[in-house]
Amino acid sequence: ETGVTQSPTHLIKTRGQQVTLRCSSQSGHNTVSWYQQALGQGPQFIFQYYREEENGRGNFPPRFSGLQFPNYSSELNVNALELDDSALYLCASSLGPETSYEQYFGPGTRLTVT
């Protein structure tokens, strides 16, 4: 059974650029949640995707957007990057939104914005 994987591991972008982060969910999981973890803080919920639709969103601006594909993998897109977007971005998958308490996390993508 393959766990949650994320790519890339690290990347560096310049303020104003756009970035796409990718996540492959654990086998059999159809729900993906994204979190932002700033240095020294707990993760903050960005949004959740279920069956290719957004299924809940945290307090993040519209320049944070996502996609989920038929194979349940997901992308997080961030436009017009700001310095404060520097963080570890975590993806978590679950069997369904009702069981999203049992979330399995990937290792994260560390984004640095300069």
Partner 1 sequence: AQSVTQLDSQVPVFEEAPVELRCNYSSSVSVYLFWYVQYPNQGLQLLLKYLSGSTLVKGINGFEAEFNKSQTSFHLRKPSVHISDTAEYFCAVRQAAGNKLTFGGGTRVLVKP
Nearest in space to 25 (alpha carbons), one of 97, 100, 111, 95: 95
For the CB of residue 111, give the shortest distance to partner 1 in the complex, in Å: 14
For the CB of residue 107, give the shortest distance to partner 1 in the complex, in Å: 5
CB distance 108 to 88 below 8 Å: yes
* 96 half-sphere exposure, CB direction, 13 A CA radius: 2
3-state secondary structure of 50: strand
**Looking at this protein, which amino acid is placed at residue 77?**
N
Which 51-90 positions form the footprint of partner 1 (CB under 8 A)? Answer: 55-56, 58, 90
Interacting stretch for partner 1, rule CB under 8 A, among 13-21, 38-46, 62-70, 71-79? 38-46
- Contact footprint for partner 1 (CB under 8 A): 4, 33, 35, 40-45, 48, 55-56, 58, 90, 92, 97, 100-108
